[in-house]
Amino acid sequence: MKFGGERNLLAVRARVQQPCTRWYSGAGIYRHVRLIATDSVHIAQWGTSVTTPEVSEREATVRVETNILNQSTSAQMVRLDVVLMDDTGREIATSTAVQKLEADSTGVYDLIFKIPKPILWSLESPRLYHVQTTVHANDRSADACTTPFGIRTFEFTTDKGLFVNGKHVDVKGVCMHHDQGCLGSAVHTRSIERQLEILKSMGCNAIRTSHNPPAPELLDLCDRMGFLVMDEAFDEWKRDKTLYGYGRFFDGWSERDLTDMILRDRNHPSIVLWSIGNEIPEQDNADAYDMAKRLVDICHKNDPTRPVTSACNSPAEAERSGFSTPLDVFGVNYQMSYYQTLRGRARVIASETASAVSTRGEYNLIQDNGTPTIKNQFKNQCSSYDDTTAESTLRAIKNSPWVAGQFVWTGFDYIGEPSPFPWPSVSSYYGIVDLCGFPKDRFYFYQSQWMNKPVVHLLPHWNWPGFEGKEIPVKCYSNCESVELFLNGKSLGEKRIKETKALHLEWMVPYAPGTLKAVARNNTKTVCTDEVHTTGTPAKIVLTPDRKEISADGVDLSYVTIKIVDKEGRVCPDADNLVRFIVDGEGIIAGVGNGNPISHEAFKAPERKAFHGLCLAVVQSKGKPGAVKLSATSEGLQSAQVVIQTMAKPSMNR
């Protein structure tokens, strides 16, 4: 380092060799990098640990342990002032501790607080407290930091699953890769927040960070929005799954990487599980027990308050080899029959389930010798009719109350790993939501099973020229007692979920253009409806931003949905018009998309084709207050404009 005002040059290089993951990893530095300058006396990196060893409605014990480094050349009298604040910023407790720290040494400050009538962090009310720590060395201010935390209890049991604050909670979770669709792997806090908002509206309450430590922004949002988290460290140990996998680094780096993840993330109340790996090939190794125990011990050493799991795709082998023995919670991937095997003798989480595939708006309904036929996989698209694995998994979870819940593969589509199809497919089909954030039909299936509010949803769309008079399968997802189906005002009969073996309702309907309507009832009272219409030809563009005001900080985003509609304003389900964009004012287009897994159009472009009537433009502020006008045009369609205001207000993207 050069001192005295001389210029220093710091160069950081990310040398990524591909393929290094089985999905799209991104490359380069795509998360925020922080250069931290400190006094010679300072709090160690991730050196504050906040735990709550005793919690009741009457009182909570809060333990704040702080590691302070004296990297000076002389002994220092170091005072630590700690202030506890509630979520309004009100001071509720204080304490001070003083130690003499010798040169080049570390001091541990361990303070205990009693909080009367604590406000507990929960999924329904994710209330946070804050610890403010200030370091004084020889009576001068040396360092300070603020650490959010939550007061809550949780317990995984062998017979009834998970309890949070003494209340039973079903884990209704999804697995999520880190990419943000058309924005790639670059971290945008608003993009992550939007994903969580969409998932919460489906009834999701938990995230598995498959299969690597997440961006810290995700965990901050889960704390504030009320999600449980399985924080996962590895997809591979020594035996690689891809050419340039983590096996190259495991021996030298696994302890450091796992330790860093835990120290960084341990104060997040949303985290209830550490995962030491996903479908680790060493499940059947002769030394599987030793390898797993080493990592579990690292977790327990750095955070004794949380259980450790691993997502086992071969649970029988994991038990036979001893791989599962050190685990606190047995993670099972897909092997639903093994739930019964583990009943009463292990704490269990369905760490990965379903892997259902579908394409938004695709039904693959064709005529085979004049008979309507569903092709589940056809021309590199997956039919949205196929919900078999989603239903069977959910039924297995419902019938296994000792399993704490499930993490569905996956919440959103993601770039890469386009199973079950190879090229020209370029993104996954697993998502309940597509790459743009547009819900697939399966979204409403999970919503009907995971939420208490009345839900009813019909599929497919109702544009089937050439099928007149032929029977088309019509599915309905609902959590209501009964649903009556109407075609052009004529009843096709009322059905009840309890009278079927499936978790959905189904009719065979002779196709006739018009309106298909579902009327859902509880106690004979109509509580919700859904309609699909035979639409006209595309006539105009409609722009709908998720937010009309964003922060003028240069990073905040507004997601603008582009709809291709007929003259009545109804989305045309087969519209694929090319839409061109122009942005004026204090914003840029950060990305465009349409959710089509075989689209090779650029994510960074001033245009995008619609896919089943929809596409997306993401508008990003430039950094100054003002207006952003997004205009959309397409040949033969009425154009549209929308104005988004960039406001001089504090940003969440700090």
- Assess contact for 289 and 280: CB atoms under 8 A: no
Which structure tokens are listed for 30? 């795509």
d(Cα 450, Cα 515) in Å, to the nearest integer?
Answer: 28
d(Cα 391, Cα 395) in Å, to the nearest integer?
Answer: 6
d(Cα 175, Cα 96) in Å, to the nearest integer?
Answer: 42
Nearest to 239, CA basis, from 209, 299, 279, 294 = 279
d(Cα 77, Cα 175) in Å, to the nearest integer?
Answer: 48
Nearest to 345, CA basis, from 157, 156, 158 = 158
CA angle, corner 421, sides to 416 and 425, nearest 5? Answer: 50
d(Cα 615, Cα 613) in Å, to the nearest integer?
Answer: 7
Nearest to 415, CA basis, from 30, 149, 5, 6 = 30
Nearest to 556, CA basis, from 652, 644, 490 = 652
Which structure tokens are listed for 390? 């989603």
In one-letter notation, the amino acid at residue 440 is: K
In one-letter notation, the amino acid at residue 115 is: I
User: Which one from 217, 279, 282, 391 is the annotated catalytic residue?
Assistant: 279
Region of 542 (left: φ > 0; alpha: ψ -120 to 50; beta: rest) is beta
Residue carrying structure tokens 């009100």: 90
Instruction: Report in angstroms the alpha-carbon separations of 406 from 171, 327, 390.
Output: 6, 17, 11
Nearest to 338, CA basis, from 324, 326, 328 = 324
Cis before 460? omega within 30: yes
Helix (H, G, I), strand (E, B) or coil at 118: coil
Task: Identify whether 391 is a catalytic site residue.
Answer: no
Which structure tokens are listed for 262? 């835990």
For the chain, helix (H) and strand (E) counts, in that order, are 8, 38
Q: Quote the DSSP letter at residue 550.
A: E
Cis before 410? omega within 30: yes
Name the E strands within 10-128: 41-55, 59-70, 76-85, 91-101, 105-116
d(Cα 18, Cα 21) in Å, to the nearest integer?
Answer: 8
- Order of strands, sheet of 59-70, starting from the edge strand that comes earlier in the sequence: 41-55, 59-70, 105-116
Nearest to 270, CA basis, from 196, 329, 198, 353 = 196
**How many residues make up the chain in this entry?**
654
- Assess contact for 361 and 612: CB atoms under 8 A: yes
d(Cα 1, Cα 16) in Å, to the nearest integer?
Answer: 27
Helix (H, G, I), strand (E, B) or coil at 258: helix
User: Which one from 236, 319, 352, 391 is the annotated catalytic residue?
Assistant: 352
CB neighbour list of residue 290: distance below 8 Å, 6 or more residues apart: none
Task: Identify whether 65 is a catalytic site residue.
Answer: no
CA angle, corner 261, sides to 66 and 270, nearest 5? Answer: 80
* Residues assigned a catalytic role: 279, 352
